[in-house]
Amino acid sequence: MAKAEKDQEMEKEKIKLEGMDPEKLKEEMLSKYPTKVARKRAKGIVVNRVEGENVPQIQSNVRTVPGLIGQRGCCYAGCKGVVLGPTRDIVNITHGPIGCGFYSWLTRRNQTDASTTPDGHNFMPYCFSTDMQDEEIIFGGEKKLKQAIQEAYDIFHPKAIAVFATCPVGLIGDDIHSVCREMKKKLGINVFGFSCEGYKGVSQSAGHHIANNEIFKHVIGTNDEVDEGEYKVNLLGEYNIGGDAFEIERLFDKCGLHLVSTFSGNSSYDKFAKAHTADLNMIMCHRSINYVAEMMETKYGIPWIKVNFIGAEATAKSLRKIARYFDDPKLMERVEAVIAEEMPVVEQARDEIRPRTEGKRAMMFVGGSRAHHYQELFNELGMTTLSAGYEFAHRDDYEGRKVLPEIKVDADSRNIEELKVEPDEKRFRPRKTPEQLAKLTAENLLADYEGMMPQMKDGSMVIDDITQYEADWLIETFQPDIFCAGIKEKYAVQKHGIPMKQLHSYDYGGPYAGFTGAINFYKEIDRMVHSRIWRYIKAPWQTNPELAATYAWD
């Protein structure tokens, strides 16, 4: 073959991103970094190319380089803010100086419905902190913590009190767990602690794990009362941002599924306590909660499946998956009936909007699952995801759970406890026969998550732990039609005149889950990519040089 021809062949082989070579783009983006930094970042930025089982490897869950401005929070934020934050009737006390508690005070827009628990307890609007002062840093803060627990008990008489450690606590050597044990004995209610000091791990992710561990140790399985109802399920990793859980609950009711507990949107303590009585665990956000699902499987025999209620198609698919798990014609029929009833309205809305959104381009950088889930909704609108990535995910969330055995735990994550779990003598109960399990496994139904990358187009850029600079660069280079991230990026994105949708807190919008949520989202995106606001960004003489000339001449 002549060289020219060969080059042409190679050229065809090459993956393009909007007519550009993504590898070259990556190089260009990295060229602004100091060499050492560029080398490190290069491993976390991957051009997607999926061939069969082969998914490119992406570096994730490693420490952010000091001095780069990223978007991650700390271990405490993941533990207290994300996982335990949405539970209304546990009093959460932050043990530490005032800032950590203050900043995690109702900032995630989780909703809850306290009218469904008899005592009506809702402590979410409160922010309890031991507000450590100099004295405690020097002499220790255990005394003050005890007092804080006592005070919280005296005022609110909650069912449970949880204590969260912040950075200084670990260093001054306060033993929050022994304080909790002591107070538990004294008060006769459940009091438990989380050693989620902010410096542990590399992101919120460490905090999720710690939260999972302690909830599993101290709460799940403490109430054996079995709810009435068929098809008992738990929903894990759904945090009821913008009312998502309410929509999902509506669908479950309609399908006849009985929701024992949710971790932790619209949740309550008692429901956590009897979560082990359910027959199926469903995981929404794989990253933040897969530990609980795995531990519950070992200890109580509850299998888990991955579900996703973001996107109408995905919702239908997930409902069918649940029905398949229970393998009951009655349920299957009911699920089909619900889908048949709900879908037409969704389709109508979508067909009306899609011609306006078709071909538009999105980018999204959020969380440990949303950057994946929301691609479903954009697909339904005919939009392409040019680039996406997570803030605190691990390789399995990108490449799928099959890479789990390959993942090496580095020094930063080594100290996060892995609980040793054994089957519970009294409470372990297989939910399925070995044959049934084998069949479901063969269908790839159980304990499987294929990750984000296999579902993304070849050539798209997958970026882990994106920095502010990289986000700006992407926007400059691609001028996407919409950029999705969190509040920290929001105003920088808008400064470029690009519409920005917050996928952490939904900018006062939502719900976006389920069928109703999908319609809300379509409409919202339609409005956003067509808002007239963006036309005023430049004055007329800036966009139109002739006009400028006239003005000058005037």
**Cα–Cα distance for residue pair 299/131, rounded to 1 Å:** 38
Confirm or reject binding of residue 167 to ligand SF4 (CB under 6 A): yes
Confirm or reject binding of residue 99 to ligand SF4 (CB under 6 A): yes
Parallel, antiparallel, or unpaired for β 482-485 and 361-365? parallel
For residue 516, the one-letter residue type is T
Using CA atoms, how far residue 90 sits from 87, 128, 269, 504, in Å, is: 6, 11, 7, 23
Stretch that binds other proteins, among 46-54, 309-317, 472-480, 521-529 (CB under 8 A): 472-480
Q: Six-digit token pair at 96?
A: 């530490």
Binding footprint of ligand SF4, residue count (CB under 6 A): 10
Stretch that binds other proteins, among 124-132, 182-190, 216-224, 419-427 (CB under 8 A): 124-132
Stretch that binds other proteins, among 163-171, 242-250, 512-520, 521-529 (CB under 8 A): 163-171
Q: Six-digit token pair at 247?
A: 């929509």
Of 204 and 369, which CB lies nearer to ligand SF4 in the complex structure?
A: 204
Indicate which residues carry an active-site annotation.
74, 77, 108, 208
Confirm or reject binding of residue 96 to other proteins (CB under 8 A): yes
Of 99 and 359, which CB lies nearer to ligand SF4 in the complex structure?
A: 99
Binders of other proteins among 309-328, rule CB under 8 A?
A: none
Stretch that binds ligand SF4, among 33-41, 93-101, 234-242, 493-501 (CB under 6 A): 93-101
Confirm or reject binding of residue 166 to ligand SF4 (CB under 6 A): yes
- Using alpha carbons only, how large is the chain's radius of gyration in Å? 25
Q: How far is the CB of 541 from ligand SF4 (least distance, A)?
A: 46
Of 144 and 232, which CB lies nearer to other proteins in the complex structure?
A: 144
From the list ligand SF4, other proteins, none, partner contacted by residue 431 (C-beta under 5 to 8 A by kind): none
Q: How far is the CB of 409 from other proteins (least distance, A)?
A: 13
Among 45, 47, 74, 82, which residue sits at the site for ligand SF4 (rule: CB under 6 A)?
74
Confirm or reject binding of residue 100 to ligand SF4 (CB under 6 A): yes
Half-sphere exposure (Cβ direction) of 226: Cα atoms closer than 13 Å: 9
Helices (H) and strands (E) in the chain, counts: 24, 14
**Cα–Cα distance for residue pair 467/68, rounded to 1 Å:** 7
Confirm or reject binding of residue 187 to ligand SF4 (CB under 6 A): no
Using CA atoms, how far residue 36 sits from 41, 96, 225, 469, in Å, is: 9, 36, 57, 16
Confirm or reject binding of residue 382 to other proteins (CB under 8 A): no
Binders of other proteins among 191-210, rule CB under 8 A?
A: 197-200, 202
Q: Are 165 and 196 in contact (CB under 8 A)?
A: yes
* Residue 16 Cα to chain centre, angstroms: 30
**Cα–Cα distance for residue pair 223/208, rounded to 1 Å:** 23
**Cα–Cα distance for residue pair 263/83, rounded to 1 Å:** 7
Query: What is the full DSSP assignment across 363-384?
Result: EEE-TTTHHHHHHHHHHHTT-E
**Cα–Cα distance for residue pair 529/499, rounded to 1 Å:** 7
**Cα–Cα distance for residue pair 501/422, rounded to 1 Å:** 44
Q: How far is the CB of 269 from other proteins (least distance, A)?
A: 15
Site string for ligand SF4, 403-442 (x = CB under 6 A): ----------------------------------------
Q: Are 107 and 99 in contact (CB under 8 A)?
A: no
From the list other proteins, ligand SF4, none, partner contacted by residue 441 (C-beta under 5 to 8 A by kind): none
Binders of other proteins among 399-458, rule CB under 8 A?
A: 411-412, 415
**Cα–Cα distance for residue pair 160/356, rounded to 1 Å:** 51
Binders of other proteins among 48-77, rule CB under 8 A?
A: 63-77
Stretch that binds other proteins, among 253-261, 342-350, 371-379, 465-473 (CB under 8 A): 465-473
**Cα–Cα distance for residue pair 385/479, rounded to 1 Å:** 13
Confirm or reject binding of residue 392 to other proteins (CB under 8 A): no
Contacts of 320 (CB under 8 A, 6+ apart): 332, 335, 336, 339
Confirm or reject binding of residue 115 to other proteins (CB under 8 A): no
Of 109 and 232, which CB lies nearer to other proteins in the complex structure?
A: 109
**Helix 514-529 and helix 370-380, axial crossing angle in degrees, nearest 10:** 70
CA angle (329 as vertex; 324, 335 as ends), nearest 5: 65
Of 168 and 514, which CB lies nearer to other proteins in the complex structure?
A: 168
From the list ligand SF4, other proteins, none, partner contacted by residue 477 (C-beta under 5 to 8 A by kind): none
**Cα–Cα distance for residue pair 84/62, rounded to 1 Å:** 24
Closest among 285, 297, 234, 264 to 447, alpha carbons compared:
297
Q: How far is the CB of 498 from other proteins (least distance, A)?
A: 10
Confirm or reject binding of residue 198 to ligand SF4 (CB under 6 A): yes
Confirm or reject binding of residue 81 to ligand SF4 (CB under 6 A): no
Q: Are 260 and 274 in contact (CB under 8 A)?
A: yes
Confirm or reject binding of residue 97 to ligand SF4 (CB under 6 A): yes
Of 84 and 278, which CB lies nearer to other proteins in the complex structure?
A: 84
Binders of other proteins among 482-541, rule CB under 8 A?
A: 487-492, 494-497, 537-538
Of 170 and 382, which CB lies nearer to ligand SF4 in the complex structure?
A: 170
Of 124 and 235, which CB lies nearer to other proteins in the complex structure?
A: 124
Stretch that binds other proteins, among 22-30, 31-39, 219-227, 519-527 (CB under 8 A): 31-39
Confirm or reject binding of residue 33 to other proteins (CB under 8 A): yes
Residues that bind ligand SF4 (CB under 6 A): 74, 76, 96-100, 166-167, 198
